[in-house]
Each structure stands twice: as C-alpha cells, then as structure tokens.
C-alpha cells in the first residue's frame, strides 16, 4: 500500500464544509408522486421517446432510445403512467423534452431487469453493451456517456484506469458516502471497466480528508490484483481529470487532448457503482446519491433519489430552508450551476444540491486588477488568468486565444483567490465560447 | 417556497482575500520600521510620515472628487504610498518635501495612468527620484541618529564609496542591523523591516521570489567585486546599508509594477540586484536601489510577455506575440 500523498501544482484550499453531511449515511428518499425525466441527461445526442402519453411504464423500462454512438438511453425511475412528453426546464437552464410519469407506488420491475451473470462469463463487448443499455453516463457532473470512454480509438493504447474518489468540490459528500457504504460494488465496477478495456492497472484515488473512505476501499481491494488505492492531497481541483491523472500517473494530458491520449480512462466512483448495479442486478441508472447541503438547508442529507425527482421535493424532505436562501446550486460551489427555481429534476449528473444563505452570496465590490499574480500562482493549468480575462473583457478574443484560453478547465481557482473579486473565470468562459463559435463559423 | 435565487456564473464562493485587507497588511508591516525610525530620528520622523500619508490620501480623494470618479481611498493603497514616500526621505527634510512627494506619487504617477493597478512605475520611488532631482541638497543631508538638528553625518554606503570626508568610520554590523545609522526615515533598521516582511510572508501578501533574488544578487555582486580585489567585498554592509531591505521586500514586490509570472519575478529580482550593484560599485551615486527598481518596473510588461509559464499539457513555452 502506498502511503505517498500525490498532488499537482497550483490549486486552492477553500472551506470544505463537508462536516455538514460527511458522517450521515445515505438515506433513501421516498419515491415522489411524479418524476420528470429529461430525454437528454448526458453529453451528446438527446434520446427519442419510446413511450406515448397514457402508456403504462415499469421501473427500469427504457423510455428513451439513444440516437447515435455518443448517447445513452433513459429509463423510467418509477412504475406508473406517462402523463406528458413535453419540454421542461432542465438543470442546464434550457427547456428539454422530458417524460413526465405519475408514480403508482408499486415499483413494478420491468421484465428486462435481471442479473447479467458474473464478470468471468462476460466479454469486453458484453460489458460495454450492458453499460450503454443501462444508460450510464459519467456521474461526476459532466455526464459523458461511459461506454464511449470505454471504446477508445485503436491507436490509443489505454493501460490505466483511475476511479475518481477525490471529491474535491467543497460541501459534496455523495462519493465519500458511496465509498464508505458500498466499497465492494465500486471495486466490482472498476474490475468491469478493466475487463472492458482489457487493462491490468486500476487505481482508486481518494483525498486524504476522507480516511474512512480510504480504509473502506483498502479493505475492499485487499487481495485484488492490479487494483490499488492511492491517497491524494486535499486540494481543489484535485479531482479535475487532468490534475488527477498528473497526480496519479505523472502524465500530462496534452493541450486539447483527452485522457486516452496518455493511456488513461477516468471514471467517477458513482459511475463504477452504477456499473456494478447494472451487471449484478441488471438495474439501469434510475437513481443516484445526491448531497443536499448548505448552511441554508434545515437538515442536510445524503439522499438516494430516483432520477427525475424535483429539487423542491428533495428540499422539502430535508426540512426546507434554514434562514434566507441566497443561491440554489446544482453541483458544488466551485463549478456548480446556479438555478433560479426549485422546479427542476435531479438528473444523472446531479451530484449535489447546495443552498447557500443570502449573507454568503452577496456580490462583492469588484475592484481594478492590481496584477497581484495570485491567479497565476493558483491556476492548475499554468495559465495567466488576469491577461486572458482582460482581453476577453475588451472583446479581443484572438489575443485571449493566444494566451491559451481554450486550455482553461473552468475550475474557478482564479476567481476564488482574486483579492479584487474580479470575474476571471467568468470572462474566460466567455472567451472560450466566442473562440469556439468563431471556429465553428470558419469550419 | 417561492424564492428569488441569485443566479451567477460559478464559482459561487470566494476567498476572504481582499485588496483592502492586503494593503492594510502592508501598512501593518511598515509600522515596526516607522517605530524604529521614530526611535532613532525622533518625533520628527513620525510627523513627516503623518504629513506624507495625509497628503497622499487627500490628493487621491480630491482628484477623484474633481473627476467624478469612484472614491478609492478606502482601499488603503494611498496610505501605503504615503508611508513609503516618507520612508524614502531623510529625517531632516522640510515638512513640505514629503507632502510634495506624495502629491507627485499619487497625482502624476498613479492617477494620471488610471489609478490603482495601472501605474507603470512604483509611485513612491518615482516620487523619491523626483524629489532627489528637485531638491538634491535636502534629499542627501543625513542626520546622526538622535541628533537630528544640525549635525550631519554620512551613510554607511557613502563611507564605503569614499565620497565623504576622510575619517568617517563605518558602524559595526550589529548597529547597521538594528538601524542606528544615517539614512532615510524607513530604510535604516533591517531588523524592523524584516519583522514586517515576515508578517507579509505569513499573510501570503508577498512571496520570496523577488526579495531573495534581489538581495542574493546584490550580496554576490558586491562580494565578487570588492574594493581590494575579487571576492573580498563587504557584502553584508551592502545588504544592510541603504534601502535594499526596504526596497526588496516592500517596493520591488509592488503588485502592478512587478511581473506576474514566477520566472519573471526571479528575473525582476536579479535585474534589480544587478542594477543596484552596478550603480553602487561603479555609478555616481552611493545608492542604487530606487533607480534599479524603477528601471525594472519599466521592463515588467516585457518580462511577463517572455516568461509565460509552460501551459499544462504543452511541450514548450510559447511566446505571445
């Protein structure tokens, strides 16, 4: 066992505030009366609905078919009746076609749900197919279809798989609890991924602020060949894919490249868990652990919720607000998305629902840049955020591009540390959008 | 549960780090040196500093009122400039000298170029250069500590240079470290300045890249090129004498006028050290810290451009045209 603590250059140490939920066992939330299941919960092409209004559906039944390779199907997370198929507000802020299902409280299982056999009897293609058919997409937030990651082009020789248990976002503890409570399934998921890729080396990487998770995972991996638990320094963004790969393997994903370019595939612990469920029980991705947290929630919890559960129901289940809420965020405070309403569903990539009190979210006075260089010191990509931001705010996106705007991973360390409270990552994000839009136009 | 949620781009929370707190930290870090100056040169040193700070803050306030700009004196940066201007004048100058210096620093060097963050040279050092050129006698009349009125003395660097009358004795190194020597109000006590510098490092307001490379370069240069042959120089006198400690920790590290890249900061320090040594050893002045910093301030944008850090996942450092 390695006792070395691995990390990367740069980064920040925000207040983690994980003690709100890190000792609370995952609680199963009662199934809501109605779920709203968007037909697009992943990066890639949206699904075509397979059901009509008025149809009876069963738990785990496929209700949306993937269109194209970079896409995954969606399944009903309850049994009941389809009430509507219409555009509904999605956590991304857009209206997306969604299937609204009235729950009959019977949880009648779909016939297709049965164990898929043991790993030894499954081939690499079987595993990839099970994963795709189970609708599994990256559960760390970006929701990239997992089977696509597991099918690298033949010229990219993948030799390492890393299960990301860093959970570096402040407040969030869903991955932490999953590692403490379901380590066996996560190791099973990792083994399935290794088999699907025909790779021997697997790492489970965890920040040292989760000693109970490290202990549980080490116990579960004891005796497993080629699988190792590694300790990471507690620093944000340690769980960023590129920073994680650098810390664990010493390899740098090339600018504009993918992890497969350096022979690595990274999957979140939640994804590994879902893969285990899909193989062991045949259950597609119809539920996930969501951390409901923040100083403005009465009883913060780690909840196991059905996909499509409304944020409103989750907050109500957690006792409602505590004081005056200022911001509602899906995901963590560093990279999550601020929402304007509770009338949105939890989807496959929803790792947390964070509610910050209004006194923590008051906009601060923005002052001119003093070139203090703190942003340069903390940038994990070695960029110069102050200059990219300056050019972006002056609409000079060509120069912003020369300063490597597109290499920004949008972790937000620069904006976090800035003593002048400047919108650094915000304006860099804008520059990236403009640069990519221009490229598309030229193409 | 009908609430108005604030919607912004991420990140949704920010560090406690604030520019006004940073500037306040600099003020706090300068206080030991102010106390030392007051002990060695009397209440006059304190009074001159107060006048200087008042002039700096007032100048910034009046200009912003006249130009209908946002009032920014609450960021404490004018206080820092005022203190540094006073620290850079001898304790014997007329009361209006630091006032004029602070006015010049704020009105011409800072506000004319757009206020905080936009000045291209260090305002306090530009003011020192301006005062030295305009009132050279007042600006180079040094006092014996404890005997401000009348009795003039030599600074250790002037004695080293041999520009003073014969017979002047170099003080011992301990006296120089404590600061009981001739010099400007804030530069003489290395001890007090280092206490302040340690506080700034502890508060992460500055890092060691510029100060260390600056001081080491001066030490090495003045050791190698000694008056009695190579590798014989009295480098400790050069490090403790003049404005090196003040300049290296408090002025070369000025945010807007120093490079933002780690390598650039080291280059800034080495450049300052080389120029300081050249001026001290072969130039016309006994002291070169302020001019060396001013010169390096002017090449700071160039240094930043050529020392862009290697971006993660790229092979070589790309130059930005």
Residues B6 and A338: beta-carbon distance below 8 Å: yes
The CA distances from residue A185 to A72, A189, A191, A214, A271, in Å, are: 22, 6, 10, 15, 11
The H or E element containing residue A203 is strand A201-207
Residue B213 shares a structural domain with residue B80 = no
Q: Which of A280, A313, A337 is the last residue of a domain?
A: A280
In a domain, A89, yes or no: no
Write the ipTM: 0.90
In a domain, B9, yes or no: no
- Residues of chain B with Cβ-Cβ distance to A327 below 8 Å are 5-8, 12
Residue B40 shares a structural domain with residue B171 = yes
CA pair distance A281, A275, nearest whole angstrom: 10
Q: How large is the average pLDDT for residues A63-67?
A: 92
What are the φ/ψ torsions at residue A58 (nearest 5 degrees)?
A: -110, 160
Number of domains composing chain B: 2
Tally A–B CB contacts below 8 A. 172
Is residue A208 left, alpha or beta, with left meaning phi > 0 and alpha meaning psi from -120 to 50? alpha
Residue B222 shares a structural domain with residue B114 = no
In a domain, A322, yes or no: no
Torsion angle, alpha carbons of B212, B218, B221, B224, to 10: -90
Residue B56 shares a structural domain with residue B138 = yes
In a domain, A414, yes or no: yes
In a domain, A58, yes or no: no
- Domain containing A385 equals 374-442
CA pair distance A21, A34, nearest whole angstrom: 27
CA distance B46 to chain A (A): 29
Cis peptide before B11 (omega within 30 of 0): yes
Least CB-CB distance to A325: which of B3, B310, B313? B3
What are the φ/ψ torsions at residue A266 (nearest 5 degrees)?
A: -115, 130
What's the whole-model pTM score? Answer: 0.92
- Rounded (5°) CA angle A72-A349-A164: 100
Asked if pLDDT for residue A25 goes beyond 60, the answer is: yes
Interface mutation target, options A420, A424, A425, A427, chain B, most CBs of B under 10 Å: A420
Q: What is the pLDDT along chain B (321 residues), one digit of tens a residue?
A: 456 899 999 999 899 889 999 999 999 999 999 999 999 999 999 999 999 999 999 999 999 999 999 999 999 999 999 999 999 999 999 999 999 999 999 999 999 999 999 999 999 999 999 999 999 999 988 876 755 444 556 788 877 776 555 556 778 888 889 888 888 999 989 999 999 999 999 999 999 999 999 999 999 999 999 888 889 888 999 999 889 999 999 999 999 999 999 999 999 999 999 999 999 999 888 889 999 999 999 999 999 999 999 999 987 544 444
Query: Six-digit token pair at B17?
Result: 């780090």
Residues A113 and A283: beta-carbon distance below 8 Å: yes
Asked if A410 has any chain B CB less than 8 Å from its own CB, the reply is: yes
Residue B122 shares a structural domain with residue B231 = no
Question: Looking at residue B319, what is its pLDDT?
Answer: 46
Q: Which of A218, A250, A280 is the last residue of a domain?
A: A280
CA distance A175 to chain B (A): 21
Residues near A422 by beta carbon (within 8 Å), at least 6 away in sequence? A366, A367, A369, A386, A389, A415
The CA distances from residue A215 to A163, A212, B251, in Å, are: 16, 5, 50
Question: Looking at residue A29, what is its pLDDT?
Answer: 96
What is the three-class DSSP state of B52? Answer: helix
Number of domains composing chain A: 2
Residue A274 shares a structural domain with residue A378 = no
Residue A122 shares a structural domain with residue A260 = yes
CA pair distance A226, A233, nearest whole angstrom: 22
Residue B43 shares a structural domain with residue B94 = yes
Instruction: Give B152's strand partners.
Output: B143
Count of beta carbons in the 10 Å neighbourhood of residue B9: 16
Asked if B69 has any chain A CB less than 8 Å from its own CB, the reply is: no
Residue B305 shares a structural domain with residue B170 = no
Taking an 8 Å cut-off on Cβ atoms, the answer to whether A416 and B311 are in contact is no
Half-sphere exposure of A90 (CA within 13 A, CB side): 19
CA distance B28 to chain A (A): 18
Residue B189 shares a structural domain with residue B124 = yes
Question: Looking at residue A321, what is its pLDDT?
Answer: 94
- Rounded (5°) CA angle A386-A389-A394: 125
What are the φ/ψ torsions at residue A312 (nearest 5 degrees)?
A: -55, -45
Taking an 8 Å cut-off on Cβ atoms, the answer to whether A415 and B11 are in contact is yes
Where do we find the tokens 């140490």?
A13
- Domain containing B301 equals 208-309
pLDDT tens digits, one per residue of A369-415: 999 999 999 999 999 999 999 999 999 999 999 999 999 999 999 99
Asked if pLDDT for residue A430 goes beyond 80, the answer is: yes
In a domain, B27, yes or no: yes
How would you label A309-325 residue by residue, b for 16+ Cβ within 10 Å and e otherwise? bbbebbbebbeebbeeb
Q: What is the CATH number of the domain that holds A226?
A: 3.40.50.11540
Residue B180 shares a structural domain with residue B292 = no
How would you label A326-344 residue by residue, b for 16+ Cβ within 10 Å and e otherwise? bbbbbbbbbbbbbbeebeb
Query: Six-digit token pair at A53?
Result: 């209004």
């Amino acid at each position: 066992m390695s006792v070395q603590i691995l990390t990367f250059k740069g980064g920040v140490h925000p207040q983690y505030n994980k003690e709100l939920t890190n000792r609370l066992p995952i609680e199963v939330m009662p199934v809501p009366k109605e779920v709203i299941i968007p037909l697009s919960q992943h990066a890639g092409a949206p699904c075509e609905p397979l059901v009509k209004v008025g149809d009876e559906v069963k738990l785990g039944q496929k209700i949306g078919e993937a269109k194209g390779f970079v896409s995954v199907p969606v399944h009903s997370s309850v049994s009941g009746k389809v009430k509507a198929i219409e555009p509904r507000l999605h956590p991304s802020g857009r209206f997306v076609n969604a299937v609204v299902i009235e729950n009959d409280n019977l949880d009648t299982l779909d016939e297709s749900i049965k164990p898929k056999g043991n790993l030894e009897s499954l081939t690499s293609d079987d595993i990839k197919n099970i994963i795709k058919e189970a609708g599994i997409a990256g559960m760390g937030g970006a929701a990239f279809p997992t089977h696509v990651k597991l099918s690298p082009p033949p010229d990219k020789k993948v030799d390492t798989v890393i299960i990301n248990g860093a959970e570096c976002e402040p407040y969030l503890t869903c991955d932490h609890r999953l590692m403490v409570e379901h380590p066996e399934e996560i190791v099973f998921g990792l083994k399935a991924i290794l088999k699907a890729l025909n790779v021997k080396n697997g790492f489970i990487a965890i920040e040292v602020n989760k000693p109970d998770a490290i202990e549980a995972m080490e116990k579960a991996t004891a005796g497993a060949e080629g699988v190792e638990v590694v300790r990471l320094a507690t620093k944000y963004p340690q769980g960023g894919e590129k920073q994680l790969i650098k810390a664990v393997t010493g390899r740098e994903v090339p600018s504009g490249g993918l992890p497969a370019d350096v022979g690595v595939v990274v999957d979140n612990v939640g994804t590994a868990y879902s893969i285990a469920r899909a193989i062991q029980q045949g259950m597609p991705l119809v539920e996930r652990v969501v951390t409901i947290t923040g100083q403005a929630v009465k009883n913060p919890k780690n909840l196991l919720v059905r996909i499509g559960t409304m944020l409103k129901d989750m907050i109500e289940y957690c006792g409602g607000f505590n004081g005056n809420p200022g911001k509602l965020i899906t995901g963590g405070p560093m990279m999550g998305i601020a929402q304007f309403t509770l009338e949105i569903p939890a989807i496959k990539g929803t790792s947390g629902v964070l509610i910050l009190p209004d006194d923590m979210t008051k906009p601060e006075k923005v002052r001119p840049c003093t070139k203090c260089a703190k942003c340069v010191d903390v940038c994990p990509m070695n960029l110069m955020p102050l200059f990219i931001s300056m050019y972006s705010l002056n609409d000079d996106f060509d120069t912003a591009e020369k300063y490597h705007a597109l290499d920004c991973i949008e972790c937000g360390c620069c904006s976090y540390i800035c003593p002048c409270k400047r919108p650094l990552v915000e304006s860099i994000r804008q520059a990236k959008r403009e640069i990519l839009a221009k490229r598309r136009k030229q193409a | 549960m009908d609430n108005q949620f604030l919607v912004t781009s991420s990140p949704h929370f920010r560090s406690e780090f604030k520019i006004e707190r940073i500037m306040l930290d600099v003020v706090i870090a300068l206080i030991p040196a102010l106390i030392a100056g007051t002990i060695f040169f009397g209440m006059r040193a304190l009074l001159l500093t107060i006048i200087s700070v008042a002039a700096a803050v007032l100048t910034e306030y009046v200009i912003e009122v006249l130009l209908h700009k946002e009032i920014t004196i609450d960021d404490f940066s004018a206080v820092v400039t005022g203190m540094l201007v006073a620290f850079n004048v001898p304790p014997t100058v007329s009361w209006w000298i630091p006032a004029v210096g602070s006015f010049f620093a704020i009105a011409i060097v800072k506000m004319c170029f757009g206020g905080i963050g936009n000045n291209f040279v260090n305002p306090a050092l530009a003011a020192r250069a301006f005062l030295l050129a305009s009132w050279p006698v007042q600006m180079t009349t040094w006092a014996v500590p404890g005997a401000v009125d009348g009795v003039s003395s030599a600074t250790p660097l002037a004695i080293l240079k041999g520009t003073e009358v014969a017979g002047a004795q170099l003080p011992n190194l301990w006296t120089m470290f404590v600061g009981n020597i001739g010099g400007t109000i804030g530069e003489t006590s290395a001890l007090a300045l280092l206490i302040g510098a340690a506080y700034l490092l502890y508060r992460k307001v500055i890092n060691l890249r510029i100060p260390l490379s600056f001081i080491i370069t001066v030490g090495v240069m003045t050791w190698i090129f000694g008056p009695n042959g190579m590798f014989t120089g009295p480098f400790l006198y050069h490090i403790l004498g003049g404005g090196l400690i003040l300049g290296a920790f408090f002025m070369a590290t000025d945010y807007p006028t120093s490079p933002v890249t780690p390598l650039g900061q080291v280059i800034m320090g080495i450049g300052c050290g080389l120029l300081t040594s050249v001026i001290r050893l072969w130039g016309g002045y006994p002291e070169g810290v302020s001019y060396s910093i001013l010169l390096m301030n002017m090449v700071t944008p160039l240094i930043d451009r050529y020392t862009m850090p290697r971006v993660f996942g790229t092979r070589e450092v790309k130059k930005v045209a």
